[in-house]
Structure 1
Amino acid sequence: MDACPHYPIRLHINGEERAFAVESWVTLLDLLRERAGLTGTKKGCDHGQCGACTVLLDGRRINACLTLAVMQNGHAVTTIEGLAGGDRLHPLQQAFIDHDAFQCGYCTPGQICSAAGLAAEGQANTFDDVRELMSGNLCRCGAYPQIARAVCAVQGIALPGPESA
């Protein structure tokens, strides 16, 4: 019986070059969690519908459950663990704390990585833009108003009055 082939890949994960040998069907999400030991990125639906697995790939937000690890050879991946600067939280991480933008916290890593990608895209100019452009990240606890407020605070977007939340 032949062993399943493994393919060598190199990824720049959170600023560190890492080498792996993976089967062709291993998702980027499973590689990050099971082989790189970065469990901050969550497995939610495993179908790309909830956004819990959102990471940054070369600075752009993606659902890690929808891409194969072998397809990302040579690319840079930033996970929730890579956003902070040492002991100093990333401004989005601090804003989520300041705005009570999490309840159970399960979706928080994906929400924060998505918000970092959103900021880099430069398409959100209003509270409603943030809500729309973050709509691929689900929160089962319903902390959407606080999440949008945290993202707006970091991006310097004016917050609406209480009647708009």
Structure 2
Amino acid sequence: MAKVPVQFTLNGEEKAEFVESGATLLKALRDKMGDMSVKSGCQQGTCGSCSVLIDGEIRLSCLTLAETCSGTVIETTAGLAESGVLHPLQRAFNEGFATQCGFCTPGMLMAAKALLDRNPQPSREDVVDAIAGNICRCTGYEPIVQAILAASRSNSVNAA
């Protein structure tokens, strides 16, 4: 299979790699760049566990071709904490017991970050809409919704 070059900014760091033509961004992030924070769930675009931000927009990395990402800025949960300090969303998820098995957590965090980046004071309905593409089989969603709302109320989320 042909290899194609991809170059993008991943969590603030410039990355350049050759990937197989047709490889998903999920595969490139995990296998080529070692970012294991992006979870591989259904690989069909239905669970949301592989969600990342590409140029600030939520995208499913299992359905996104890596070669279409050249020149973009990609954010994953591995880039949320800065200098060992958890992002306000990560703190709120931890404090609000919004994770159980943790498999959906990266996708939920990225969906929440995309929401709060564009709407720092969302309503409950906004939060529910923002995470609608993510499946969680453990929490019943309420702790996740409450954690996102709590993070939105913190002053530090808008600075992060």
- How does the TM-score come out when normalised to structure 1? 0.89
Distance in 1 of aligned mates of 2:120 and 2:48: 19
Matched, 1:139 2:136: yes
- 2:90 and 2:30 map into 1 onto residues whose CA distance is 20
**Whole-angstrom distance in 2 between the partners of 1:143 and 1:17:** 38
Match of 1:52 among 49, 53, 56: 49
Question: Which residue is equivalent to 2:80?
Answer: 83
Q: Alignment length, in residue pairs?
A: 154
Aligned Cα root-mean-square deviation (Å): 1.5
Gaps of 5+ in 2: 155-160
Quick check: 1:111–1:137 contact (8 Å CA) kept in 2?
Answer: yes
**Taking every aligned residue pair, what percent have the same amino acid on both sides?**
42
1:161 is aligned to none
Q: Could you list the runs of 5+ residues in structure 1 that have no partner in the other structure? A: 158-165
CA contact (8 A) 2:55 2:72 kept: yes
Name the CA distance, whole Å, in 1 between partners of 2:13 and 2:121: 30
- Residue 19 in 1 paired to residue 16 in 2? yes
Return the index of the structure with the highest Cα Rg.
1
Q: Does structure 2 conserve the Cα–Cα contact (< 8 Å) formed by 1:124 and 1:130?
A: no
Supply the distance in 1 between the matched residues of 2:53 and 2:132 (Cα, whole angstroms). 17
Q: Say if 2:52 and 2:107, in contact at 8 Å, map to a contact too.
A: yes
Q: Look up the match of 2:38.
A: 41
Q: Deviations over 1:96-137 (max 9, x none)?
A: 001000100111111101100111232873112211221111
CA shift for structure 1 position 60: 1.3
- Contact preservation (8 Å) 2:9, 2:74: yes
TM-score (norm 2): 0.91
**Residue equivalent to 1:114:** 111
Runs of 4 or more, structure 1, over 6 Å off, are none
